[in-house]
Structure 1
Amino acid sequence: MKDVKRLLYVVVCAVFFIGFYILSDFYAGEAVGKYADEISSGNSKLTSNDKVTMDSLSLENQIKNHATGSSPQDICLSFVGDITFEGDQLERYYDASSEKFDFTNSFKYIHRYLKSSDFAAANFEAVLAGPDENYDSVQDQYGTAGFLYNIPEIAAENMKAAGISMVQTANEHAGDFGIDGVKSTLDFLENAGLKSVGTGKTEKNERYTIASAGGLKIGYVAYTNDLNVPLDTEDAYAVNSLDNYDETKIQQMCADIQAARQAGAEFVTAMVYAGDVYSTEPDDSQKALFDALFEAGADIVIGTEPYALQPIEIRDLKDSDGTEKKGIAIYSLGTFLGSETYGSSGVDNDISAVFDVIIHKEGTKKARITGFRLTPTCITYTDEDVFVLPAMEVKENASAFSDVADDTVMERIQAACDEIIPGLIKDTGLTGEYSDGRYVVNF
């Protein structure tokens, strides 16, 4: 009797599972028929190359993926201009008792703006060549003698701690200490946790860098138009150089932009060290170069070298699939940190900005640039420090900065906030307003 019951139990289970399989197969066919168009066009998860696992199907991961894929978010890419550590800075930030440098105070008022970004990039206009052993004094082992910029390696750690994520190393001073200087600079930057773009240790190194910001892959390509000290011919690969707007080199930079895109970059930023020194307007060569970079597929183009701010442009672009989008350029971000003071060159070379590009991402839609922010900055001196002040914050709360901002500094602060920064968008047709120390412009 027990055997009969057991057999009956097995038969019932078998019938149940066979029926379940038939029903599942039927409804699967119904689903394929219903979504046939979507599947054939490649828009369905059924045609995805992503591997489906039990872990990926868990309720926790499904909720997480849904939230990540559908929740709107704004991603902030930040840029600052030239960072240099010159004589007055080396003198102020050297501790004779410990025989060490520390540039932390240079960023003490501005670091919160950099750290609030998803990814911040700067032009590091110097070389980390290590101490010059020809001198006994640590203070003499570094400096800018003969217009050769060898900076204490602690500067890399200080920049990283201030909120900078990556530095452009293709600029006028990249070749100051030859191929060894290029390589040691990259080593020190890497040890400090900083990414770099524009120079390489070997010919096999890619001429672009891809970074992740807020879940987006951002490609960076950087070139310099000038070199203070050209590298030997066999080492020329180490610095991305345009060689005074050489057409072949411009084409190479454009090819690098396309290569970054092919490597998976969803946005591509081109960084260019070019332009006339102390000029507040781009020249024709700059304009033609920027046109070529946008034509090659750049979404953002950032200029440095003139040591002064130059205008912003908004570009109407199209994606490879014909989708309309906005591009953005600033011809020069000027000097973010250095030893030059207002009046020494006849331009506002003490005024710069933190330039935030805002990228909006929502669900499966293509991310797009929706606006930008400018945090006006002013290089300021005291007997002990050379540092960057957030100009609008100082203007709105002058009493909190009374120990570092005298009447002369406040005049510069006023000029930055009321004239210089708003003037950067005068030909864009856009308007902005200040909020939390930043000049905000939305498209």
Structure 2
Amino acid sequence: MKDVRRLLYVVVCAVFFIGLYILSDFYAGEAVGKYAGEISSGNSKLTSNEKVTMDGLSLENQIGSYVSTVSRQEIRLSFLGDITFEGDQLERYYDSSTESFDFTNSFKYITKYLKASNFVAADFEAVMAGPDEDYENVFDQYGTAGFLYNVPEVAAENMKAAGISLLQTANEHAGDFGIDGVKSTLSYLDSVGIKAAGTQKSANDKRYTIASVSSIKIGFVAYSNNLNMELDEDNAYAVNSLDNYDENKIKQMCNDVRAARRDGAEFVVAMVYAGEVYNTEPDDSQKSLFNSLFEAGADIVIGTEPYAMQPIEVRDLTDTDGTAKKGIAIYSLGTFLGSETYGSAGIDNDIGAILDVVVNKEGNKKAKISGIRLTPTCITYTEDDVFVLPAAEVKNNKDSFSDVADETVMERINAACDEIIPGLLEETGLQGSYSGNTYVVNF
């Protein structure tokens, strides 16, 4: 019986090694065929002194090499303007029976657009400092009293659920509740999985954030030109501030752009909270700052603060290897969500946009911008809600929105789609057109 087992064992081993030999011979033949031209010229790995291994000739590794060389991926980076939660919003989304807030309805019409993107970044113009213990009622523990913006923590969950990936935390209200407000805001955002750029918990923290988006590393550098409340000298590190276009602070921001690149960022986004409120054109200081950021290596520069849309620019840039590439600038994305309404002065501060930057990457080549998309948005009120409407969708499907879009709202919707969004490209020489509910511009 033992002899039979030994014989069976020998037969199995023989079959295994014979199969291995045949398989190896097959792959060797395939490799010789593939490199035949190189063998005749003496350049093949098979005729060189370089060691050839089965790993190098394996079908799996050859396929991997092929994919890395010719594969193509496209990602969509999306940017929003200012997000605030002010008195009118707190009143509508406060439940006195549970003493709690829920801002979910603010995003109910726009979430599908955000979730269609690979990565969404916005400016969060407030802090989450926790309930103010000076007030007994929960409703009074948050709000904008004294022009200090303290938002209920649940807003972080609501923004994450809506599809927001990163928030710029360096803006006018970043220091409203001191260093404790900065740190608690970062903690609340981190707890729900939202990244932040522009503020730090420690002086040793990097002043930029790197996120991996579909295997492409994107660096985010965010600064505010001014603060409503200055931090004391010991805690000044916590908020990236330009101190009213201070030359040294601009150099620091530019150095952070370079540092993010050195740290592996294939793309660098600079986010700037700067500009005159309600201006629809950038001033000379904004333009100079944007130029400096592009010279430092930024690929995309996003502006907020003016609460109104300002023009887009498409820059012709040169990459570090000397190849040509495109850069995108928008001086202000306006307000995405807040209590802004169309005022008597005729400022379009209720109109914003989702700016999509389309990035393509082929094989091992560097990623490049191939186009932009603009989805116009409009802040809209009802007795119970304050929310963001996708303007072109409403225009194209008026009957579906008849309960929230009366004649006045439709006037704003039409202005957003037909005037404001196309007007952002007037100086670029580029032409765009609507595809569905989005204004498409290809380079």
**2:178 maps to what in 1?**
178
Shift of 1:73: 2.3
**1:247 maps to what in 2?**
247
CA distance in structure 2 between the aligned counterparts of 1:397 and 1:58, rounded to whole angstroms: 55
Distance 1:162 1:57, change over 3 A: farther
Aligned pairs (5 A) from 1:116-135 = 116-135=116-135
AA in 2 matched with 1:234: D
2:396 is equivalent to residue 396 of structure 1: yes
**2:433 maps to what in 1?**
433
Kept after mapping to 1: 8 A contact 2:183/2:201: yes
Distance 1:97 1:290, change over 3 A: same
CA distance in structure 1 between the aligned counterparts of 2:155 and 2:433, rounded to whole angstroms: 34
Describe the superposition over 1:190-244 as per-residue Cα deviations: whole angstroms up to 9, x where unpaired. 0011000000000110001000112211000000001000000110000000000
CA distance in structure 2 between the aligned counterparts of 1:84 and 1:67, rounded to whole angstroms: 44
**1:320 maps to what in 2?**
320
Count of aligned pairs between the two proteins? 412
AA in 1 matched with 2:241: S
**1:300 maps to what in 2?**
300
CA distance in structure 1 between the aligned counterparts of 2:54 and 2:206, rounded to whole angstroms: 34
1:280 match: secondary structure: coil
Give the structure-2-normalised TM-score: 0.88
1:122 match: secondary structure: strand
RMSD of aligned alpha carbons: 2.6
CA distance in structure 2 between the aligned counterparts of 1:57 and 1:143, rounded to whole angstroms: 65
**1:87 maps to what in 2?**
87
**1:335 maps to what in 2?**
335
CA distance in structure 1 between the aligned counterparts of 2:152 and 2:41, rounded to whole angstroms: 64
Distance 1:235 1:386, change over 3 A: same
2:327 is equivalent to residue 355 of structure 1: no
The worse-fitting range, judged by mean Cα deviation, of 58-67 and 224-233 is 58-67
Describe the superposition over 1:263-314 as per-residue Cα deviations: whole angstroms up to 9, x where unpaired. 0000000000000000000000000000000000000000000000000001
AA in 2 matched with 1:181: G
Query: Among 34, 38, 46, which residue is 2:43 paired with?
Result: 34
**1:156 maps to what in 2?**
156
**2:275 maps to what in 1?**
275
AA in 2 matched with 1:431: Q
CA distance in structure 1 between the aligned counterparts of 2:40 and 2:343, rounded to whole angstroms: 73
CA distance in structure 1 between the aligned counterparts of 2:241 and 2:126, rounded to whole angstroms: 16
Distance 1:57 1:123, change over 3 A: farther
Describe the superposition over 1:316-349 as per-residue Cα deviations: whole angstroms up to 9, x where unpaired. 1001111111101000000000002101553100
Distance 1:344 1:100, change over 3 A: farther
Kept after mapping to 2: 8 A contact 1:129/1:150: yes
Shift of 1:366: 1.8
**1:100 maps to what in 2?**
100
**1:42 maps to what in 2?**
none
Give the structure-1-normalised TM-score: 0.88
Aligned pairs (5 A) from 1:200-215 = 200-215=200-215
Aligned pairs (5 A) from 1:64-83 = 66-67=66-67, 69-83=69-83
Describe the superposition over 1:40-88 as per-residue Cα deviations: whole angstroms up to 9, x where unpaired. xxxxxx89xxxx996x986557546644652322210000000000000
Shift of 1:413: 0.2
AA in 1 matched with 2:348: D
Distance 1:149 1:344, change over 3 A: farther
AA in 2 matched with 1:420: I
Distance 1:364 1:130, change over 3 A: same
AA in 1 matched with 2:381: Y
CA distance in structure 1 between the aligned counterparts of 2:130 and 2:142, rounded to whole angstroms: 8
CA distance in structure 1 between the aligned counterparts of 2:345 and 2:194, rounded to whole angstroms: 32
Shift of 1:361: 1.2
What stretches of structure 2 of length at least 5 have no aligned partner?
1-16
2:233 is equivalent to residue 233 of structure 1: yes
2:280 match: secondary structure: coil
The worse-fitting range, judged by mean Cα deviation, of 387-396 and 132-141 is 132-141
AA in 2 matched with 1:428: T
1:89 match: secondary structure: helix
**1:189 maps to what in 2?**
189
CA distance in structure 2 between the aligned counterparts of 1:161 and 1:328, rounded to whole angstroms: 28
AA in 1 matched with 2:170: A
Distance 1:316 1:53, change over 3 A: farther
1:188 match: secondary structure: helix
2:155 match: secondary structure: helix
Describe the superposition over 1:348-406 as per-residue Cα deviations: whole angstroms up to 9, x where unpaired. 00000000000111122221101100000000000000000000000000000000000
CA distance in structure 2 between the aligned counterparts of 1:80 and 1:62, rounded to whole angstroms: 42
Kept after mapping to 1: 8 A contact 2:68/2:364: no
CA distance in structure 2 between the aligned counterparts of 1:138 and 1:289, rounded to whole angstroms: 42
Aligned pairs (5 A) from 1:43-54 = none
AA in 2 matched with 1:85: F
**1:6 maps to what in 2?**
none
CA distance in structure 2 between the aligned counterparts of 1:214 and 1:365, rounded to whole angstroms: 15
Kept after mapping to 2: 8 A contact 1:83/1:124: yes
AA in 2 matched with 1:114: L
Kept after mapping to 2: 8 A contact 1:278/1:345: no
**2:375 maps to what in 1?**
375
AA in 1 matched with 2:201: K
AA in 2 matched with 1:34: N
